[in-house]
A and B are shown apart, each in its own frame.
Chain A
């Protein structure tokens, strides 16, 4: 019984990690890559550090504990939660050596491949313990995707082919997220589309994980004592 009590918080912590083994990217420069080959989009992850490409379901994008931040007390960031109160995990648009530097890149699509040299990139679904947003910095932030207010047609952006940009990726809770994106474009007037699901794991920052584990252990211990007294 004691062993089960001790194992419980570990099990909770382990639940934040995916059950299946994948290659993990947790630092350095990587892109959600969008290519177009043989008349079809090819959505993937490009590890820019090692010049390796992964299928979306073959790589885990890890958000390290150093991404944990208080939402600033600035009303422009209210789309993330309660400003000055709530915390989130954020992969920033500016490189931080402790965090994954994740962009969206379409450099592999050469000019003239798609009509207008543009495509639409959309958020389709988010499965996970919290909300996901993608936004760009500026005098006021520009929100690209926000699952917190429902996923609609507004969660999409028109991007140029042959381009590359970095964004802020935020998550409101620790845990594993399955996030589906879609690319749409026109190839000689013919619509082409492709959807792919990417897996993010948001690692709890240490104090939350420790206090959570202590709390769970205390509750389990109390339940055990009550059961023994009954």
Chain B
């Protein structure tokens, strides 16, 4: 592509870097959440009958709660790794070939990286926790079967990924399938088909591996549902709105650097091609 104007140069620069305009869905004053233990949550509040989506970052008394559009979850440069090879486990669901670079927030805490979990009503204050966790509020159900059936095995809050908007593929996995077997909860590489979901036990939280195949800005839409009521009945399904959580996968420094060098070189070339009289006028 030939660069024809300064505007074109700016456009290319914008494509090669991350600009605030790509984060339009975030509210002014949002916080960047990095290098800390944080959880994303969509708990149901029985007292109000409302879902309360938030990102919490506080480690003491869960004081640091943010609405999803006030928190940018940072996947920083140190998360750059390579996709594992297939062996006992198959990692093809990530969406790139073995050995290709990916950005990974680990299910195990890694110094300098965001340690991101998912929770039901774990981070709420005590009165809300007591109400929402009460066995008479959550009905036992089998989330893999018809929710109307009364033959469930336990209580769950289901979090489903409805859409992924970003430059690459997104996946969530852990090693809970049998003994050390990888379980892909979410994999956008093969499309989102209604099975891209977690099942959180109310009043608990879990950690997962969060993989991104390309640097850039991602919006992940999540919707929660659960069944309320006594186990003896068919239960009442309650669903949240679709909530968007925001991730910034920071470009690999070399990519950003080479992009900047390339733009600078083009600008310099244009400058040198300008007629001499243009420089003197």
Whether B180 is near chain A, meaning CB under 8 Å from some CB there, is yes
Total A residues in contact with B, Cβ cutoff 8 Å: 35
A13 CA to B204 CA, complexed, in Å: 33
Give A contacts to B, CB under 8 Å: 28-29, 48-49, 51, 69-72, 74, 76-77, 90, 92-95, 97, 101, 107-108, 110, 136-139, 141-142, 159-160, 162-166
Indicate if the CB atoms of B37 and A137 lie closer than 8 Å: no
Which residues of the partner chain A approach B106 to less than 8 Å between Cβ atoms? Answer: 138
Proximity string of chain B (89-133) to chain A, C-beta cutoff 8 Å, 1 when within and 0 when not: 100000000000000001111010001000000100010000000
Indicate if the CB atoms of B109 and A92 lie closer than 8 Å: no
Whether B175 is near chain A, meaning CB under 8 Å from some CB there, is yes
Indicate if the CB atoms of B179 and A77 lie closer than 8 Å: yes
Given contacts A48-B204, A107-B59, contact A92 B176 (CB under 8 A): yes
Min C-beta distance of B64 to chain A, whole Å:
12
Which residues of the partner chain A approach B59 to less than 8 Å between Cβ atoms? Answer: 107, 110, 162-164
Which residues of the partner chain A approach B34 to less than 8 Å between Cβ atoms? Answer: none
Tell me if B's interface is mostly helix, strand, loop or mixed.
loop
Indicate if the CB atoms of A166 and B207 lie closer than 8 Å: yes
Chain B residue with Cβ nearest A75: B88
Looking at B60, B108, B176, B180, which has the most chain A CB atoms within 10 Å of its CB?
B180
Indicate if the CB atoms of A74 and B88 lie closer than 8 Å: yes
Proximity string of chain B (162-202) to chain A, C-beta cutoff 8 Å, 1 when within and 0 when not: 00000000000011101111000000000000000000010
Min C-beta distance of A104 to chain B, whole Å:
10
Min C-beta distance of A29 to chain B, whole Å:
5
Indicate if the CB atoms of A137 and B60 lie closer than 8 Å: no
Whether B259 is near chain A, meaning CB under 8 Å from some CB there, is no
Given contacts A139-B84, A160-B109, contact A72 B201 (CB under 8 A): no
Whether B206 is near chain A, meaning CB under 8 Å from some CB there, is yes
Given contacts A71-B179, A108-B60, contact A138 B108 (CB under 8 A): yes
Give chain B interface residues in 19-69, CB to chain A under 8 Å. Answer: 37, 59-60
Tell me if A's interface is mostly helix, strand, loop or mixed.
loop
Which residues of the partner chain A approach B111 to less than 8 Å between Cβ atoms? Answer: 160
Indicate if the CB atoms of A77 and B109 lie closer than 8 Å: no
Chain A residue with Cβ nearest B177: A94
Indicate if the CB atoms of A163 and B107 lie closer than 8 Å: no
Indicate if the CB atoms of A163 and B115 lie closer than 8 Å: yes
Indicate if the CB atoms of B179 and A163 lie closer than 8 Å: no
Indicate if the CB atoms of A107 and B179 lie closer than 8 Å: no
Chain B residue with Cβ nearest A110: B60
Chain A residue with Cβ nearest B85: A139
Chain B residue with Cβ nearest A94: B176
Indicate if the CB atoms of A49 and B108 lie closer than 8 Å: no
Whether B154 is near chain A, meaning CB under 8 Å from some CB there, is yes
Indicate if the CB atoms of B180 and A97 lie closer than 8 Å: no
Indicate if the CB atoms of A101 and B204 lie closer than 8 Å: yes
Looking at B59, B111, B201, B203, which has the most chain A CB atoms within 10 Å of its CB?
B59
A48 CA to B115 CA, complexed, in Å: 19
Which residues of the partner chain B approach A49 to less than 8 Å between Cβ atoms? Answer: 203
Proximity string of chain B (147-162) to chain A, C-beta cutoff 8 Å, 1 when within and 0 when not: 0000001100000000
A19 CA to B205 CA, complexed, in Å: 34
A107 CA to B56 CA, complexed, in Å: 13
